[in-house]
Amino acid sequence: MMKAQLQFQFPEPGNWGKFILTAVFVDNNGFIKSRRFTQDDISQEQAETFKEVVTHIAVLSDEWKALQVWVRLEQVTVSPLPEEGEVFPESRDAVALTVEAVNARGGRRLFTSQDYSEFTMVDGAAVAFFNYFTTNNNDQ
């Protein structure tokens, strides 16, 4: 079962300054809820983190423009830098993106982290951004 997801829609593909953010999450009673936000509803700090996410989406070629993005939280295994002694992999939260993009000829395509490794972010700010919209809004 999906616990939480963020969905971004870009009404003008390629224009990152205008978007609709929908947070989908399970509330404290087990019901699936959703909340919608626009670029005007998020704080300056959240906008900065959003810009970082956009840099990951922008790896698409100039031919493809993101129309919609689905964001979910996953557990990934990372190997710490080797130090003295044995090195054991650890599990961390990561934000994973699935991007629906369009091209000028009307084509549509989905891009995932298998296409672009940049679509999986272990960055703490991206995870905090995800958690802000999928947990703090449970009681509204």
Distance CA 63, CA 74 (A): 29
pLDDT for 86 equals: 65
Report whether 71 contacts 55 (CB < 8 A).
Answer: no
- Quick: pLDDT tens for 47-64: 988 888 888 888 787 889
pLDDT for 81 equals: 66
Report whether 95 contacts 73 (CB < 8 A).
Answer: yes
Partners of 5 in the β-ladder: 24
pLDDT for 138 equals: 45
38-63 core/surface letters (b: 16 or more CB in 10 A; e: else): eeeebeeebeebbeebbebbeebeee
By percentage, how much of the chain surpasses pLDDT 70?
90
pLDDT for 100 equals: 95
User: Strand locations in 1-140, DSSP E?
Assistant: 4-9, 20-26, 32-38, 65-78, 90-102, 108-111, 120-121
Report whether 54 contacts 65 (CB < 8 A).
Answer: no
pLDDT for 109 equals: 94
Please give the average per-residue pLDDT across 103-126, as a whole number. Answer: 90
What pTM, to 2 d.p., does this model score? 0.83
